[in-house]
Structure 1
Amino acid sequence: MPNSILIPTDGSEYAENASEVGFDLAERMGATVHALAVGDVNLTEVSSVGGGPPRTKDDVTKIAAKWADELTASAEARGLEAEAVVRSGTPADEIVEYATEIDADMIVIGTAGRSGFERRILGSVTDKVVRTAPLPVVTVRPDGSVDAA
């Protein structure tokens, strides 16, 4: 089976930093990039007084599709073979499930740089992926430095 690298994206600068590292690795390995964006169904339940209406599953999935398409276009602009993948669900679970389905060689994912109380309260998609993925996970910090788990 050809080499494959899964690069999840949430449209953030952290995901963009991780994608650059992932693209470099894909070039070296001759790997296909799988650009995965997850429409976070947990966000469909969020609403605030005075804010806009809660988002639907379709809303979050359309946003995720845009992120996956943008990441795929960036990979292809570097001459890489890339595939845009969109899922709906809980991001960490969907990332690990998809990586397992395609038998990815690794996941390259960004971190948001949270620590302490904020991280415990907000949780972390990256932390859960690192803890549950049955394959290597390369994490890219906000400053662009790389860790491997």
Structure 2
Amino acid sequence: MSNTIVITTDGSEYSESAAEVGFEIAEKMNAAVHVLSVGDTNLTQISSIGGGPPKTKDDVTEIAAGWAADLAATARAEGLEVEEVVRTGIPAREIADYAAEIDADMIVIGTAGRSGIERMVVGSVTNKVVRTAPAPVVTVRPDGTVDAA
């Protein structure tokens, strides 16, 4: 049975740092990498008052597809077996659901390093994934340090 690691991306520097760690783990475990990006439907509901127009479901899915394609290309260039996956919905839920669907051995995800009140107000996709994931979760902090949950 082959090992499978889900590496998430939202196009941020945090997810890029996490991907580097995930690629190293995948290489050591001889694991297949599933690059997962989620078009966040929460962004389709943002008011355009004081900003640009709200994004559509197609917009957020297209953006997520670009992130997944970029990260998958990097993984392939490193010689990893890669599957590129794009979902649309609530990111934490989609990540946990996808990991369960494929019976993933691990999830690797970046964290923005928020804490305290900012974390409570803004919320944390990473925190929600850690609490709901069906597999171990490796979180990578902005400074590149790694936690496992």
TM-score by length of 2: 0.98
| Structure 1 match to 2:63 | 63
- How many residue pairs get aligned? The number is 149
Q: Give me the CA root mean square deviation.
A: 0.8
CA distance in 2 between partners of 1:78 and 1:47 (Å):
41
CA deviation digits over 1:95-139, x for unaligned, max 9?
000001011110000000111111000100000000111210000
1:18 aligned residue: 18
Secondary structure of residue in 2 paired with 1:34? strand
Deviating more after overlay: 45-54 vs 18-27: 45-54
1:78 alignment partner AA: E
1:97-116 equivalence runs, <5 A: 97-116=97-116
Task: Return the TM-score normalized by structure 1.
Answer: 0.98
Residues 27-46 of structure 1 mapped to structure 2, 5 A cutoff: 27-46=27-46
AA at the equivalent of 1:39: G
The one-letter amino acid paired with 2:13 is E
Residues 1-149 of structure 1 aligned to structure 2 (within 5 Å): 1-149=1-149
Question: What code does the residue aligned with 1:106 have?
Answer: M
* Cα displacement (A) at 1:49: 2.0
5+ residue gaps, structure 1: none
Q: Distance in 1 between matches of 2:49 and 2:21?
A: 40
